[in-house]
A = this chain, B = another copy of it.
Amino acid sequence: VASSAAKSEEVSDTRARLIDAAVALFIRNSVAGTSLQMIADELGVTKAAIFYHFPNREQLLLAVMEPYLEQIRETVHAAERRRSAAARADAMIRGYAALSARNRELGTVLAFDAHVTKVLSEHDEWSSLIRRQLALLVGDTSDRSATIKAHAVFRGLAGAATAAPDDMDEDELRGHLTDVGRRMWGLRATRRRSAPDPQPMSRSGGTDD
C-alpha cells in the first residue's frame, strides 16, 4: 500500500508540477504566448512528458483552469441558494471578490484571455456556468443597463485584483474588492475590520465574518 501510494504520488507529482509551471508561465507570458516547449523546459523534461499526462494542449489549459472554475462553481452554487434577488447578487459579488483576491494573478489572465474565453464557450458546462454567474446579478428582467453593470462588476473586480500592491494580504484585498463591487451594483458598502456601517442592509452572510 505504501509503495503504491508513494508511486501514485510520484505519478501525479509531475502532472501537478506541469500545471504549476504552466500557471507561472501563463502569468508571465499570457496563455497564447506560452508554448508547450517552454513549459517542458521550465521543468527540465521533454514535451513528450506533457503529452503523457495530457492528450493535447487544450486539455492542459483546462486542467490549469479547473481549480479556478471550481471556485466559481462553488460560488455560483452558494449564491443560487439565496432566496431574494438582492441576496443572490450580494453573495455573488462577495464570492467573486473573494475569488479574485485569492487568485490575484492567474485570475486576471484567465478572465481576460481571448483564447480562454473561446475554449470555455465551446464547453457547455463552463459556458452555462458563466451564464448562471451573470444571471445571478442580472436576474431575468430585461433591464437594459443591468447586463452592462454586471459585466462591469466582473471585469472590474478581476482587473483590479492584479493591481493590488504586493504587501496587501488577501483579506484586505478582498475587502476592497467587495467594496467596489457593491458600490457598482448600487449597494452600500460595508467596511470590513473598520467601523462597521450602522445602516441596515440586506444581510446575507456566508464567506465574510
Contacts and interface: CB of A to CB of B under 8 A. Distances in A.
Interface residues of A, dominant DSSP: helix
Contacts of A173: 148
A153 B181 CA distance: 10
Given A112-B112, A115-B33, A186 B183 contact: yes
A1 B43 CA distance: 32
A151 to B, nearest CB: 4
A60 to B, nearest CB: 18
Interface string A144-184: 11011111111111111011110010001100110110011
A208 to B, nearest CB: 17
Which bracket fits the contact residues of A? 35 or more
A20 interface: no
A159 B150 CA distance: 10
A160 B165 contact: no
A164 B173 CA distance: 29
A56 to B, nearest CB: 14
A195 interface: no
A113 interface: yes
Nearest to A31: B114
6 contacts: A148-B164, A149-B160, A151-B162, A156-B157, A183-B183, A183-B184
